[in-house]
Amino acid sequence: MFDQLPDDILLSIIERADVRTIIKTSALSTRWKQLPLLLYNIDLDVDKFIPPNSSMSADEAMAILIKSMNNLFGSPQRECTIKGLTLSFCLLTDFEASLKYLLNISELVCNAVDNGKVKSVELEIKTEKPSVDYTTDDTLLHAKSVVYFFDISPSLSRCLTKLFLRTARFSEADFHQLIVSCDQLQHLSLYCCELWDSSTLKLDMPNSKLRFVSLFGCFIQTVEFICLPKLKELHCDSWPLTGTPLSFGAVPCLQELLLVCVKSIFQSGFKLTDLLRGTANVQDLTLNFQGENIWITPERKELSTTLSKITKLFLHGIYVKFNILWTMLLLEAAPSVKIFGVEVWNHPCEEGGERDGYPERTNALWDAAQMDGSILHLQLETLEFGGFDPTISEHLDFIRAVIERAPKLKSVILQDAEPCEYCESMDNPISTSRFPHNEDERSTVLKQLKAGISRPVAIVFC
């Protein structure tokens, strides 16, 4: 049946498969043998060459990756241009072997780019082992390998649009040169990366096309976004040091900011106004506290200016025993918010265990009594509540308070907590979800939320 399909239909089908399947399929017939050479988009991930439950080493997988790259775009028989190459490979613990593979990859990709066979590249450079298994010397070698790879791959740098780096310790000069050399780069992700000669990473690139930056667990005191004129979205997750993790200069296009962190005993809080200083157009703000203490410190008057343009505000990972009403202090300071979301963190599996490195959970700084009951949320249209539990009176009080103060509110979206295998495995009734699932339970909640409220507000159970 497949043999009767035209080439374009066959290509649309096999493009959805992984490379191992594509290569196996190409061996079925003479006609199919040419199909991989007609692909416009190719995704090569070294992990996908390792079969499930296999003892294949990373070294062996890298060798297969190189062979596949040679077959797919190193062949002189390829005539069509690859519009997008997504490539993911790993740095081996054997430094010399790793350099050999880097040289092979560089030659294949750069030749393909120079010959017009590849137009754009997305690149992920992984490590053979998890980040926690590496020493400082290992991370320095990783950075050395990455710098070497880019030094020998100028053609790749010129067409690279997406870069994901893991577990590498750079000098500030090397890292800056690496990023600047990638003048088409739009998406940058750093996972557990750091600088060995500076506590501050300065990104001053007036000609940069970077639109998205993601930082996870990077051991850097402060990342200064001095000038990134096209930056639109920024994610910062799990900063390990104290103080404000970010600062901003010229970022006129920055609209979406996501901050996620578990506050440890080594971290002090910071003012949201200090962090957002220099941003003028942020509209979508998400703060996730991962069930620990709140790491933004209270402030009132200054916030009204800082949050004046926010239209989407999400406060996630709020410990279940904290009074949720405190979040309305931030809502009061953000008059343009149309979508407001809160998410409660309720994990019985974490209760009663060791808390090494984490302080006692308390939210004494944020006092709901400071709310101004006269403030109306005039633009608010949607309230989202994750981890809703109708047996917790504060949840009901919070939702009613928002409904009463938001005359344009159209819908309240109630969601159950995200499933947790550790909580579900506990032989404990408090680990069971209390989210209303049947009609009777939902009817009871509707009556509790709408009592005395005449306006039509849709209550949606998800």
Q: What is the pLDDT of residues 251-288, one digit of tens each?
A: 999 999 999 999 888 888 899 999 999 999 999 999 99
pLDDT-derived band at 40 (thresholds 50, 70, 90) equals confident
> Is residue 113 within 8 Å of 148, Cβ to Cβ?
no
Backbone phi, then psi, for 163, in 5-degree steps? -140, 130
The reported pLDDT for the residue numbered 424 is 82
CATH 3.80.10 describes domain 289-349+361-462 = yes
Tens-digit pLDDT profile for residues 363-375? 877 887 777 877 8
User: Mutual orientation of helices 136-151 and 172-181 as an angle, nearest 10°?
Assistant: 30
Domain boundaries in the chain? Answer: 289-349+361-462
The reported pLDDT for the residue numbered 121 is 98
The reported pLDDT for the residue numbered 36 is 67
CB half-sphere exposure, 229, CA atoms < 13 A: 5
User: Mutual orientation of helices 95-114 and 136-151 as an angle, nearest 10°?
Assistant: 30
Q: Is residue 328's pLDDT more than 90?
A: yes
> Is residue 416 within 8 Å of 441, Cβ to Cβ?
no
The reported pLDDT for the residue numbered 397 is 94
Tens-digit pLDDT profile for residues 59-97? 999 999 999 898 888 777 777 888 999 999 999 999 999
Q: Is residue 344's pLDDT more than 90?
A: yes
- Using DSSP's 3-state secondary structure scheme, residue 316 falls into strand
Radius of gyration of the chain, Cα coordinates, nearest whole angstrom: 26
Which 8-state DSSP code applies to residue 283?
Answer: -
The reported pLDDT for the residue numbered 295 is 94
> Is residue 3 within 8 Å of 29, Cβ to Cβ?
yes
Nearest to 227 by CA among 201, 249, 252: 249
Pair type for strands 222-227 and 284-288: unpaired
Q: Is residue 21's pLDDT more than 70?
A: no
**DSSP structure string for 382-424:** EEEEET--TTSHHHHHHHHHHHHH-TT--EEEEEPPPP-HHHH
Average pLDDT in the 202-228 region?
96
Report CA-CA distances (Å) from 231 to 173, 213, 255.
21, 8, 8
Q: How confident is the prediction for the chain on average, in pLDDT?
A: 90
Measured distance CA(252)–CA(283) in Å, rounded: 12
Measured distance CA(251)–CA(231) in Å, rounded: 6
Strongest mean pLDDT among 33-47, 396-410, 446-460: 396-410
The reported pLDDT for the residue numbered 6 is 67
**Residue written as tokens 């997750």?**
237
The reported pLDDT for the residue numbered 349 is 86
pTM as predicted:
0.90
| Residue 414, phi-psi category: left (phi > 0), alpha (psi -120 to 50), beta (remainder) | beta
Write out the E strands in 130-283.
Answer: 160-166, 169-170, 187-191, 194-195, 200-204, 212-216, 222-227, 233-237, 246-250, 256-260
Higher per-residue confidence, 197 vs 12: 197
